[in-house]
Structure 1
Amino acid sequence: MEHMTSRVQSAPRGAATVSLLTTAVLAVTVAGCSAADEAEPVPDVPVLTAEVLAEHPFDSSAFTQGLEVMPEGDLLVSTGLNGESRIFRAPVDDVTSPSVDVDLDERYFGEGATLHGDTVWQLTWKSGVAFARDAGTLDVTGTASYEGQGWGLCSDGDRLVMSDGSPTLTFRDPATFEATGSVEVTLDGEPVEEVNELECTGTDDDREVWANVWHSDRILRIDPATGEVTGVVDLDLPAGDEDGADVLNGIAATGTDGRFLVTGKLWDTLYEVEFRED
């Protein structure tokens, strides 16, 4: 999610992350953050390292708000900006050639999206509307309303997990979208603001939520039962040459333990990475 209405207003943070990778392995410590993260404290929780396994071309016109790998192996991408918001499915290696591509009405600023069963749920930023979509065609099959803003969304298999820019994660019924509970995200005992795009991993008693943090290159590993951050990774990846290329946003588990696809708003590259706790 991003507080802006056009590319011209895009924050310059993306330009601060243009240094090329010189090794495949990134030692991700706070010292390796971009300038925008210089005030980030050193966490007491484990700091993860990330290995870049592959790079794929990405759609640099996509103001990425949600990213997920579908069961068939293709990507689900939800994008923002009024008049430019869309949701599409595309091959990982050819994101600019989507198999399904649906535009949102210009009044809606698209946000996070996730698959649950045969339904894709997609958030909007300030409209308080969530769209239920057919997973194959992405046609709207229903809508639901919610209070506050919509930022990130993922499914843990039993429920939906939603962020709204605050430290709160809200759990929602995947059939009705009604709130069923919530938890506050904390790092070293302090609430974390601007929790953004989400990815749910694990099953049953081994669930985790991974989250981008807006205005930073930081990704958090969160225990959804307590809200406590159990791991931190700080990525410093090249955003690309697109004018206005902005913050890291978009994280999707590949289905292989520890491996994720990550990108950002208006980025031209999709990175396949593996997070490791040394």
Structure 2
Amino acid sequence: MARKPNNVHGVLLLDKDAGMTSNQALQRVKRLLGANKGGHTGALDPLATGVLPLCFGDATKYSQYLLDANKTYQTRAQLGAQTDTADADGAVIAQARIPTLVADDVQALLRRQFIGEMQQTPPAYSALKHEGKKLYELAREGKPIPDKRRTVRIFNSQLDAMGDDWLDITLTCSKGTYVRSFVEDVAAALGTLAHVARLRRLEHGSFAIAQAVTLTDLEAMTEEQRLAALLPVDACITTLPIYTLDDTQFAAVKHGISVSVAPTNAAGEVRIYRNEKFIGLGEITPAHMLKCRRLVQTDLL
């Protein structure tokens, strides 16, 4: 008999394996946890490995904050060949001579051209949508790919190692950045072509790869150990300041009533707690009122 799904709440940091989509990874973890509601917070390509935060139950209400987070990747750029998917899973569509490269020159280029705000064209094989259809669906049908150029920000790009036909680069970037496009752009600046040979996400917001567990780890755990591996619901929003309710304020807030706060509290979003227990997300207005924006479900209050 199939196990009845549990009311599971929290965040699990998965070290995703290569060769599976983020949704496939999510579904396997959902089954292992017996969770009835879950979502991932920023897909990794099938080729990619690394930190993939998975939100379950009430944590899904706050997953947008992880979707918006900065990320750090380590990638290998395979020089001399362009593929249709911009990574090693695709077919080679063009080749180019690889110039003689010097590490100091490559690093200087990264610092000069690939740090700061820049325009980036996402790969044709991406999940971005145009008129309700994903770009990779259009690409597979051989249809023209609309220009989805966007502004992204690279906070740091560092050459780690290099060979005659490859570069290993670590970069920290804003949401919406495609490492595949980054690699192609770097290669173009060096006078050649390239695609992503491997990709690993080392950090996602405040989460680091050392905190993550693999599917193999999870499969070897007991049910209790898997649930213990979950981070609390508020792990998604730890960058926000805390506001603690007294009993009177809590009685009002849980019914959707705004409450007044001291003028010393700065306006903006806050995490709401009562007796050290997370209650939900709120906003303090310039008029010193605390408005509840999103409470955890009733059985967690």
State TM-score, norm by structure 1. Answer: 0.23
Structure richer in strand, relative to its length? 1
Q: For the pair shown, which has the larger CA radius of gyration, 1 or 2? A: 2
State TM-score, norm by structure 2. Answer: 0.22
Structure richer in helix, relative to its length? 2
